[in-house]
Amino acid sequence: MKHQAKAGQPRLERQEHLLRIRLALERPKQRVLVDVVQQGCEPGLGSLLGRPGRNPHMALDALHTAIMSQRVNWVLDADIRSFFDSVDHEWLLRMVAHRIADPRILRLIELWLRAGVLESGEKQETDRGTPQGAGISPLLANIFLHYILDLWTHQWRRRCARGRVVVVRYADDFVMGFESKADAQEMLLALKARLASFGLMLHEGKTRLIEFGRFAALSRQRRGERRPETFAFLGFTHYCGRTRDGRFIVKHKTEGKRLTRKLTALRQEAWRLMHESLATQHEWFAAVLRGHYGYYGRPQNYSALNGFYREVRRSWLHCLRRRSQKSRRMG
């Protein structure tokens, strides 16, 4: 059995190599197609993902403004299980056809969707999921969610809600705010049914309904409960806070899980760079800091940013000391 596995190894590696080449050759076409599809789909799309001049910070600003200015007392922090692997091709193509009339473009998208995936070295045909690593995948996923989520929540809000309802979405990451707990509970049930009709489901372990907003702390204190819970959105943990003069404010800090993963990867790369020149190391660590500050450099996040800087500095010093110790031992 072991011999058979070894004999088949070159064939599997060749298949994976050919797939990588094919994806590389297709990327220029996909970039052109993304521009074409964006022109037809840009008006009305609810998410900020993949749209010219839009970025996650705009979604974060929209969420902050909504909670601060609207009567939000409850937050539904929802997570769709394995969304990008679960998008139904038939439904997606029908939705794209609502926006794009050119049959040549529709056929090209269909070919990419039907290309299949490599699983354990073997090509598997699939009728679900967007192409892995493809530049057009985020845009296709955005179109899909526009129809099954954005338009539907807008209609639900008009027909069923008794109080204020706000929705902020970026890709498959979205948050809903409610004035009424009853509205929030009804939405959660309706959302599960809506997603199920398209072959999707919420991740039960990551989907939560929490009391959050201007009056959450006082309401929980009256019931003898702890401070309001927090929720994560686009890499930040959002929590209820107070300004120096006691006014309510939504604060945010770098999400702990993401920070831990990033620091782990940083230490591993620092170890690999241990014997590189000081100039090379400095350039790499500086680039890490610039990238981190560029995304997480948000108001109220100074403490987490400072903590990240200290960890980067500590990792570099540790790297230099280990290199110095090795040099002395070898000398």
Residue 27 burial (CB < 10 Å; 0-12/13-18/19+)? Answer: middle
Distance CA 219, CA 237 (A): 21
| Confidence (pTM) | 0.83
3-state secondary structure of 253: strand
> Measuring CA to CA, which residue among 331, 308, 323 is closest to residue 259?
308
Is the pLDDT at 307 greater than 80? The verdict is: yes
Would you say 130 and 113 are in contact if contact means Cβ atoms under 8 Å apart?
yes
pLDDT in tens, 157-173: 999 999 999 999 998 99
pLDDT in tens, 195-250: 999 999 999 999 999 999 999 999 998 999 999 999 999 999 999 999 999 999 99
Interatomic CA distance for residues 208 and 236, integer angstroms? 16
Spell out the domains of the chain, with CATH numbers in brackets: 12-254 (3.30.70.270), 256-330 (no CATH)
pLDDT in tens, 15-28: 444 444 455 446 66
Using the Cα atoms of residue 105, residue 110, residue 115 and residue 119 in order, give the sign of their dihedral: positive
* Residue 256: band (very low, low, confident or very high) from pLDDT cuts 50, 70, 90: very high
Structure confidence at residue 43 as a pLDDT band (50, 70, 90): low
Q: What is the reported pLDDT for 177? A: 98
- What is the rounded distance in angstroms from the CA atom of residue 202 to the CA atom of residue 83? 9
Given a cut of 80, whether residue 319 has pLDDT beyond it is yes
Write out the two tokens for 172: 């498959």
Q: CA dist 234 to 16, 89, 174, 228, 292, Å?
A: 32, 26, 9, 20, 14
